Amino acid sequence: MQRVRVLMMLVVVSALCSSSAQGQAAADAVQPLPPVSGPLQSPAATEIPTQAPEKNPAQAPVGRPIEPELEPNPVASSRSNRGDKTVELALGVGSATAPLPSLEAVAGYYITPGILVEADYARGLLSAYFLAVSSELAVVRVKKIWGNSFYTRLGVGRRRVGASFTLQSLAGTDAFDTGATVTSAGVDAGIGNVWQWEHLTFGVDWLGLFWPVKRLETNDNFPLSRASTANRQIKERIFDTIAKSKSFELLRFHVGVSF
């Protein structure tokens, strides 16, 4: 009996020693977690860095293009160049005495930079052998400049149209010399452009018209004593037709100075 008790005690001690060794091994296997710094975040809240999409230059918003700086254009500043001008003097060529080509002289006074009062005298002459045809036009007008260079003009004037016929004798003296002039009053109008530099003025009358309204006088050097009544009536009708004929003007150029 005593041996049995000793064996039981040895078994109990052995079991206790085995249980204690297994508990120590389990405790050594468990490692403590490292401390967490900062607030706890869920995996869903963790931001994943992504690469920004590249911009397509073709899809970039198109802004207003930068315009290159242009040098000042003297023609575009004609209006400002007329600001301090008072007097204009110019010479011209064209069709003021249409259908004859003409030379003309113009003098003007600026009431304002856009309103100009002008006096214009033009003369045209065509001569061939024994026949010479002449025309003169004197006009006082107002020129209105709209904006930078475009203008309209309107005035009153006097036109004189003449013709002369001369035959030379064999001795060299005038054997027969006659001629006539017809003078009429009318309205002169037209449109054009005028450009102003510092002192230089250049203008173009694109279209114009002289419209006679009254026959003023007729000078006939043909000896009336040699003409029959029928011939005199024919001459009067011719003179009346000349006095009432309209003059259509196309392209008149003038260049001058303003100060």
Helical H segments across the chain, by residue range: 2-29, 78-81, 229-244
Whether residue 136 contacts residue 97, with contact meaning beta carbons closer than 8 Å, is answered with: yes
Q: How far is CA 176 from CA 94, 130, 173, 230, in A?
A: 33, 10, 9, 22
Task: Provide CB contacts within 8 A for 184, sequence distance 6+.
Answer: 158, 159, 212, 213, 214, 215, 216, 243, 244
Q: pLDDT: is 236 or 80 the higher one?
A: 80
| Chain segment 17-47, per-residue pLDDT in tens | 555 555 555 445 445 555 545 454 544 445 5
What's CA 141's distance to the chain center, in Å?
26
Instruction: Kindly provide the b/e burial profile for residues 125-159, where b requires at least 16 CB atoms within 10 angstroms of the residue's own CB.
Output: eeeeeeeebbbbbbbebebebeebbebebebebbb
Distance, CA of 22 to CA of 155 (rounded, Å): 131
Whether residue 145 contacts residue 126, with contact meaning beta carbons closer than 8 Å, is answered with: no
- State the pLDDT at residue 14: 60
Whether residue 206 contacts residue 251, with contact meaning beta carbons closer than 8 Å, is answered with: yes
| Chain segment 76-123, per-residue pLDDT in tens | 589 999 989 999 999 999 999 988 999 999 999 999 999 999 999 999
Q: pLDDT: is 242 or 207 the higher one?
A: 207
Residue 25 φ/ψ, nearest 5 degrees:
-65, -40
- State the pLDDT at residue 30: 47
Task: Provide CB contacts within 8 A for 157, sequence distance 6+.
Answer: 120, 137, 138, 139, 140, 141, 185, 186, 187, 188, 210
Q: Is the pTM of this model over 0.75?
A: no
- State the pLDDT at residue 182: 93
Other CB atoms within a 10 A radius of the CB of residue 253 amount to 15
| Chain segment 137-193, per-residue pLDDT in tens | 999 999 999 999 999 999 999 999 998 877 665 555 555 567 889 999 999 999 999
Domain ranges of the chain: 75-258
Please, what sign has the CA dihedral across residues 137, 138, 144, 145? positive
Class of 75-258 in CATH: mainly beta
Closest by alpha carbon to 136, among 149, 123, 127? 123
